[in-house]
Amino acid sequence: MLDLRPNCEYCGRDLPADSADARICSYECTFCADCVEKHLKNVCPNCGGGFVARPIRPGREWRPGVSRTHQKPSEKRVHLKKDKAEINVFVAKVSGVPARER
Ligand SMILES: [Zn+2]
Ligand SMILES: [Zn+2]
């Protein structure tokens, strides 16, 4: 199941489960739309992959036992594993390759 992480790894801002601004890579690394655009240029600093908008898990129980009340978002905040200078170099290298060809 998708891990709905509570914050942007880059700037630390909150990204609640109903946020339209959350972006994820295929490993569920989670960033805000601003950081993906301005700082990361659609390059995940952890894996090099691209991002998509994180889907919003329903807040209401439309089907029995299925909602974000039943399958709760993560409360574990995640932080960058590399410093921002290293990430800048990485992003400059990888962003020249289209996400589908990485
Ligand atoms: Zn951010
Ligand atoms: Zn990633």
Ligand nearest to the CA of 51: 2
- Residue-wise pLDDT for 78-102, tens only, equals 999 999 999 999 999 999 999 999 9
To 5 degrees, how large is the angle CA 34–CA 76–CA 47?
A: 55
Cα 68 to ligand 2 centroid, rounded to whole Å: 23
Ligand nearest to the CA of 47: 2
Cα 88 to ligand 1 centroid, rounded to whole Å: 15
Cα 86 to ligand 2 centroid, rounded to whole Å: 16
Range 20-53 burial, b when 16+ CB lie within 10 A, else e: ebbbbbeeebbbbbebbeebbebbbbbebbbbee
pLDDT, residue 77, reads 98
Cα 34 to ligand 1 centroid, rounded to whole Å: 6
**Is the separation of the CB atoms in 42 and 36 below 8 Å?**
yes
Q: How far is CA 48 from the centre of its chain?
A: 13
88 CB contacts (<8 Å, ≥6 apart)? none
Ligand nearest to the CA of 94: 2
Q: Model's pTM, two decimal places?
A: 0.94
- Residue-wise pLDDT for 36-73, tens only, equals 999 999 999 999 999 999 999 999 999 999 999 999 99
